């Protein structure tokens, strides 16, 4: 006797759900080329609306951003250098102006103030040394000099000191910029490497 035929199991989709309708094909709607072309053309012809530009509002906004970004107490380089000079530090003011003049060498105000700083610094150095007629002598031993790690300018100036040559002559002999040489002589004196020779009584 032939057993009765069993119906096939139901088809399940990817989620495991039963699909009693089986493998019915998906019906794709027909594509209307003319309707698509009309819609595309309508979108292309639509003009972009650009908002009005308000220059006054833009200026106010820019000014507000600038005041927010910059501190109210910010000084220009010229003002800062002038303030430092008035506080009695011409050397620091001069270095500040030198950086500015590297970028803008024809800055008239910076050049004028730089000249003032140079004159003030020269007076300061000569005051520390004594005068241009002072004779400076080395007061440390050659062994000590080697351990001091002096720069080449200071070493060169020391080599010109013979116990009889005054500062003005040293400035002429060394061939260095006057202010540069004076600054190094001042520093040598301040560090106790040289001192003014005692005048015979």
- The residue among 102, 126, 150 that closes a domain is 126
Residue 72: Cβ-neighbour burial (10 angstroms; 0-12, 13-18, 19+)? exposed
SS3 for 44-104 is HHCCCCCCCCCHHHHHHHHHHHHHHHCCCCCCCHHHHHHHHHHCCCHHHHHHHHHHHHHHC
Alpha-carbon distance 112 to 81, whole Å?
A: 12
Asked if 173 and 160 touch (Cβ cutoff 8 Å), the reply is yes
Specify if 30 maps to a domain. no
Specify if 6 maps to a domain. no
**Which residue has 């005048």 as its token pair?**
199
Residue 125 has pLDDT above 80, yes or no: yes
Q: How many domains does the chain have?
A: 2
What is the per-residue pLDDT across 162-171, written as a single tens digit (0 to 9) for each?
A: 999 999 999 9
Per cent of the chain over pLDDT 70 is 64
What is the per-residue pLDDT across 126-151, written as a single tens digit (0 to 9) for each?
A: 999 999 999 999 999 988 888 888 89
- The residue among 99, 126, 153 that closes a domain is 126
* 169 vs 51: which has the higher pLDDT: 169
Alpha-carbon distance 42 to 35, whole Å?
A: 11
Please give the pLDDT value at position 149: 83
Residue 22 has pLDDT above 60, yes or no: no
Give yes or no: residues 90 and 137 share one domain: no
Q: Which pTM was predicted?
A: 0.61
Q: Where are the beta strands (DSSP E) in 81-190?
A: 136-138
Specify if 154 maps to a domain. yes
- Count CB-CB contacts under 10 A for residue 81: 28
Give yes or no: residues 138 and 189 share one domain: yes
If you compute the radius of gyration of the chain from its CA atoms, what whole number of angstroms results?
Answer: 44
- Count CB-CB contacts under 10 A for residue 157: 22
Specify if 121 maps to a domain. yes
Give yes or no: residues 102 and 135 share one domain: no
Asked if 195 and 139 touch (Cβ cutoff 8 Å), the reply is yes
| Domain range for 162 | 131-196
Give yes or no: residues 122 and 135 share one domain: no
Element housing 18 (H / E) = strand 18-19
Please give the pLDDT value at position 6: 60
Give yes or no: residues 112 and 141 share one domain: no
Specify if 65 maps to a domain. no
Specify if 163 maps to a domain. yes
Tokens, residue 85? 């000079």
SS3 state of residue 7: coil
* 87 vs 15: which has the higher pLDDT: 87
Tokens, residue 143? 């062994």
160 closest CA partner among 196, 133, 125, 185: 185
Asked if 100 and 110 touch (Cβ cutoff 8 Å), the reply is yes
Specify if 84 maps to a domain. yes
């Amino acid at each position: 006797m032939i057993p009765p035929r069993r119906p096939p199991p139901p088809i399940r989709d990817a989620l495991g759900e039963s699909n009693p309708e089986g493998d019915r094909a998906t019906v794709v709607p027909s594509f209307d080329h003319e309707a698509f072309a009309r819609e595309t053309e309508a979108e292309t012809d639509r003009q972009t609306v650009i908002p009005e530009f308000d220059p006054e509002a833009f200026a106010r906004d820019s000014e507000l951003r600038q005041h927010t970004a910059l501190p109210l107490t910010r000084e220009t380089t010229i003002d800062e250098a002038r303030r430092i000079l008035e506080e009695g530090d011409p050397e620091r003011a001069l270095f500040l102006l030198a950086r500015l003049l590297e970028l803008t060498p024809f800055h008239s105000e910076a050049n004028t103030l730089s000249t003032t700083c140079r004159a003030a610094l020269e007076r300061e150095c000569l005051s520390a040394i004594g005068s241009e007629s002072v004779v400076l002598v080395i007061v440390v031993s050659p062994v000590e000099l080697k351990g001091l790690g002096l720069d080449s300018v200071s070493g060169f100036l020391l080599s010109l000191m013979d116990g009889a040559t005054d500062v003005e002559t040293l400035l002429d002999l060394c061939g260095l910029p006057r202010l540069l040489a004076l600054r190094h002589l001042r520093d040598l004196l301040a560090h106790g490497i040289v001192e003014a020779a005692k005048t015979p009584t």
